[in-house]
């Protein structure tokens, strides 16, 4: 099953689980749900609570 991408609503950054966020310590293949709660958007610095599922 393909993992969902998540959109940071305020800035438009898209978290793609296949890519991860290597600069933020998130390995490729990490589902959004498995990212630590203290992770923040690498573009605007806001938390996971502002992300929505990208349809």
Predicted local confidence at residue 35, as pLDDT: 98
CATH number for position 2 = 2.20.28.10
Q: CB atoms < 10 A from the CB of 13, how many? A: 16
pLDDT in tens, 1-55: 689 999 999 999 999 999 999 999 999 999 999 999 999 999 999 999 999 999 8
Annotated binding site for Fe cation: which residue ranges?
Answer: 8, 11, 41, 44
CA-based end-to-end distance of the chain: 15
Structure tokens at 26: 């998130």
For residue 2, give its domain range.
Answer: 1-54
Residue appearing with tokens 């990490």: 30
Distance (Å, rounded) from C-alpha 40 to C-alpha 5?
Answer: 15
Q: Is the whole-model pTM more than 0.75? A: yes
Predicted local confidence at residue 13, as pLDDT: 98
Give me the number of domains the chain comprises. Answer: 1
Cα torsion 38, 10, 42, 55 to 10°: value is 90
Annotated binding site: which residue ranges?
Answer: 8, 11, 41, 44
């Amino acid at each position: 099953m393909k993992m969902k991408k998540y959109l940071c609503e305020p800035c438009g950054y898209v978290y793609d689980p296949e890519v991860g966020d290597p600069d933020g310590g998130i390995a490729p293949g990490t589902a959004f749900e498995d990212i630590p709660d203290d992770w923040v958007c690498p573009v605007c610095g806001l938390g996971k609570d502002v992300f929505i599922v990208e349809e």
